[in-house]
Structure 1
């Protein structure tokens, strides 16, 4: 199995995330990928997929993924039924980090219990 075939789910995820300036090549059984993710969160998702397939230190892939917007961890569009606690748990693994999200969005949020679908929230770097 070629490295490109093995890591096809990573390439598909890159397309889904709309990774910019992408470049993929295979040389001597090593897949080389390069591109720019919108945020650190999206870069982390790609690395998680690489590790899921190749283990913690895969030797058959070299990835050079940069981040276009380092000022935020991610930008999140609120969906119906979400709370800041649920959003914090998703991004940070800890619902009590909702305070950090609330503070980062104090220009549009006046109450941490009142968020609405389609609002775009900044998920700050911690």
Structure 2
């Protein structure tokens, strides 16, 4: 099992974890449990709506740690699922239990920093800012436009010709 770390307070607002003002500890624990179950269902639906063909797919969330399981057809699909889940507000780690049928090279994960652009990231990894489109394409459908990145977002940077 591999664990990926994310920034819990950054990302897509898929659910309400972390937004609660608990009245009492026991009630708060029950409410948090329910929120985590709802969040896991919403994330699963979001991933299935993206037409990723993952069999035996499940997500569970406990204490801001998401565990993803299933059988993915490719390394790319596996990585995209990890990023969709991890880039959701309220998730701070993703435990990866996804099995890949067709193994290929793993992409690098990169956390976007202040003043980053896909061009700047491409220059660092590939030596050419014009190769930003490779990173953009590798992050579809999570990114709808090359400028839709923000600090704290974790993205895939595919290996190209032995790089990065």
So what's the TM-score if we normalise by structure 2? 0.33
Structure with larger RCO (C-alpha < 8 A, sep 6+): 2
Taking structure 1 as the reference length, the TM-score comes to: 0.43
